[in-house]
C-alpha cells in the first residue's frame, strides 16, 4: 500500500513474468508434441522401447554361459507352464529350474532397477533443470548404500522379507537428500544451481562412511555384502527381491506420472511455475523424497549402479522431447532395457563382472557424446 491507502498498480512483470527464448521454447515444444504426426511418432517409439525390453528379456532367459543355453521354444514352454489356467506342454524340469528359478527373477530385477533409476533421473533433471542431475550426483545413491550397508552390519537387513533393508536405505537416502536440500536452501528457497554442489559434498562424506562400515563389519560374509553395495550387481537377485521391487516401481511410476503437469511447468522456470499455481518449494521436497525412495529400493537390491539415471533420460528426451507425459514411460522402458542388456552381458560373457562396471564403461562415453551434441536451446 502506498500513502493515502491506494494500492500501487501492478507492473507488467507482476502480471506476466518476463519471458525469454527458453521460457517460450517449452510451451512451443509441448504444442508441437501434440500434433498428429508427433503422436504417431511417440507411439512408435514407445512400442519400439517396450518391444526392445521384451526382446532383451527373452534373450536373457535363453542365453547363458557355455553349455547352459535354453532353446527359445523351451523358454516359451516354461513361461506358458506357469500361467494359471493355461493348458501347456510340461516343460523340461532342467529348463524350468534354469529359466523360472534362476534367470527370470534376475531379468525382472534388472528391468525394475533400471526403470526405477531412469524414472528418478528424469524427475531430478526436470526438477533441477540440470542435465547432470541424477540419484548419484545428488547424494541419494550414497545415502541409500550407507543405510543398506548399516542394516547388513546390524543384522536386520533381511527382516520383514527384506523391507527392513529397504527401509534403512530409504531413511539414509531421505536423510542425505534432506541435508542436500538444507545446504542448498538460501533465503527460504532452494537454489537449483547449488543442489548439485551440495550433493557432491554430502555424497563424498557418505562414501567415506562405507569403508568405515566395512572395517566395523570384520566378518568375511558381511564384508562381501557391503562391498556388493559399492559396485552394483544383480547376481543375488531372486523372487523375494523381485516382489520387493514391484510395489516401489509401481508407486514411483504412478506418482511421477501423476505429477507430469507440474514437472512440465517447472521446466519453464520457478517464477513461471509459481504464477501457474505450482507450489514450487513443497513440490521440490516431494520429488526429492520420491527420488530417494526409488533410489533406495534400487540400491537395496542391486547396489550402486551409475549412469543409468544420468544417460537414459537424455536418450529418451532426444527421442520423444521434454514432455513428461511421454518422457517418463519411454525412459522407464529404456532404463530397463539398458540394465537387462548389461546384466546379460556380464552373466554370459564377462564371468559375472559387476554390472555397475559395464554401465559406467558404456554410460560415461555415451554421456560425453550426448553432452557435446546438446544445444542450449534443446534443453
Could you give the domains of the chain? 37-378 (1.10.3470.10)
Largest Cα span, the chain = 91
- DSSP letter assigned to residue 64: -
Average confidence (pLDDT) over 231-252? 90
Residue 210 cell numbers, joined: 562405507
Q: What is the pLDDT of residues 343-360, one digit of tens each?
A: 999 999 988 888 988 998
Residue 244 cell numbers, joined: 520387493
Predicted confidence band at 42 (pLDDT cuts at 50, 70, 90)? very high
Distance separating alpha carbons of residues 173 and 334, to the nearest angstrom: 24
Q: Does residue 328 surpass a pLDDT of 50?
A: yes
Q: What is the pLDDT of residue 24?
A: 39
Average confidence (pLDDT) over 152-175? 83
Predicted confidence band at 4 (pLDDT cuts at 50, 70, 90)? very low
Residue 37 cell numbers, joined: 504426426
Q: What is the pLDDT of residue 311?
A: 92
pTM of the model: 0.85
Which residue carries 557432491 as its cell? 200
Q: Does residue 153 surpass a pLDDT of 90?
A: no
Counting other chains too, the contacts that 18-27 makes at CB distance below 8 Å and 24 or more residues apart are 21/377, 22/269, 22/377, 23/268, 23/269, 23/272, 25/377, 26/264, 26/267, 26/268, 26/322, 27/268
Average confidence (pLDDT) over 86-102? 83
DSSP 218-251: -SHHHHHHHHHHHH---TT--HHHHHHHHHHHHH
Predicted confidence band at 60 (pLDDT cuts at 50, 70, 90)? very high
Q: What is the pLDDT of residue 27?
A: 46
Q: Is 200 exposed, middle or buried (0-12, 13-18, 19+ CB in 10 A)?
A: middle
Q: Does residue 141 surpass a pLDDT of 60?
A: yes
Measure the N-to-C terminal CA separation of the chain; round to a whole number of Å.
40
Average confidence (pLDDT) over 212-235? 74
Average confidence (pLDDT) over 98-112? 94
Amino acid at each position: 500500500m502506498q500513502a493515502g491507502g491506494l494500492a500501487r498498480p501492478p507492473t507488467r512483470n507482476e502480471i506476466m513474468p518476463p519471458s525469454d527464448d527458453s521460457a517460450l521454447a517449452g510451451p512451443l515444444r509441448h504444442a508441437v508434441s501434440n500434433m498428429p504426426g508427433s503422436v504417431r511418432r511417440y507411439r512408435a517409439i514407445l512400442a519400439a522401447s517396450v518391444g526392445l525390453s521384451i526382446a532383451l528379456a527373452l534373450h536373457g532367459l535363453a542365453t547363458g554361459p557355455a553349455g547352459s543355453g535354453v532353446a527359445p521354444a523351451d523358454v516359451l514352454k516354461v513361461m506358458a507352464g506357469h500361467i494359471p489356467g493355461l493348458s501347456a506342454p510340461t516343460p523340461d524340469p532342467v529348463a524350468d529350474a534354469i529359466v523360472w528359478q534362476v534367470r527370470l527373477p534376475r531379468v525382472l530385477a534388472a528391468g525394475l532397477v533400471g526403470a526405477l533409476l531412469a524414472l528418478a533421473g528424469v524427475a531430478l533433471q526436470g526438477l533441477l533443470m540440470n542435465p547432470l542431475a541424477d540419484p548419484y550426483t545428488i547424494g541419494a545413491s550414497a545415502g541409500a548404500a550407507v543405510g543398506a550397508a548399516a542394516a547388513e552390519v546390524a543384522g536386520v537387513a533381511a527382516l520383514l522379507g527384506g523391507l527392513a533393508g529397504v527401509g534403512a536405505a530409504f531413511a539414509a537416502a531421505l536423510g542425505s537428500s534432506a541435508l542436500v536440500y538444507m545446504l542448498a536452501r538460501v533465503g527460504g528457497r532452494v537454489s537449483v544451481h547449488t543442489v548439485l554442489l551440495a550433493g557432491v559434498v554430502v555424497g563424498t562424506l557418505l562414501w567415506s562412511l562405507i569403508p568405515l562400515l566395512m572395517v566395523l563389519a570384520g566378518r568375511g560374509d558381511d564384508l562381501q555384502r557391503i562391498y556388493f553395495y559399492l559396485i552394483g550387481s544383480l547376481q543375488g537377485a531372486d523372487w523375494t527381491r523381485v516382489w520387493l521391487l514391484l510395489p516401489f516401481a509401481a508407486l514411483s511410476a504412478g506418482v511421477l506420472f501423476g505429477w507430469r503437469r507440474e514437472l512440465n511447468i517447472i521446466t519453464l522456470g520457478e517464477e513461471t511455475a509459481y504464477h501457474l499455481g505450482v507450489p514450487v518449494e513443497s513440490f521440490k521436497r516431494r520429488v526429492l523424497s520420491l527420488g530417494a525412495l526409488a533410489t533406495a529400493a534400487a540400491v537395496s537390491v542391486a547396489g550402486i549402479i551409475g549412469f543409468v539415471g544420468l544417460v537414459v533420460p537424455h536418450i529418451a528426451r532426444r527421442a520423444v522431447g521434454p514432455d513428461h507425459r511421454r518422457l517418463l514411460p519411454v525412459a522407464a522402458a529404456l532404463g530397463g532395457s539398458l540394465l537387462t542388456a548389461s546384466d546379460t552381458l556380464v552373466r554370459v560373457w564377462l564371468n559375472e563382472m559387476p554390472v555397475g562396471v559395464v554401465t559406467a564403461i558404456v554410460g560415461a562415453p555415451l554421456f560425453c557424446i550426448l553432452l557435446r551434441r546438446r544445444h542450449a536451446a534443446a534443453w
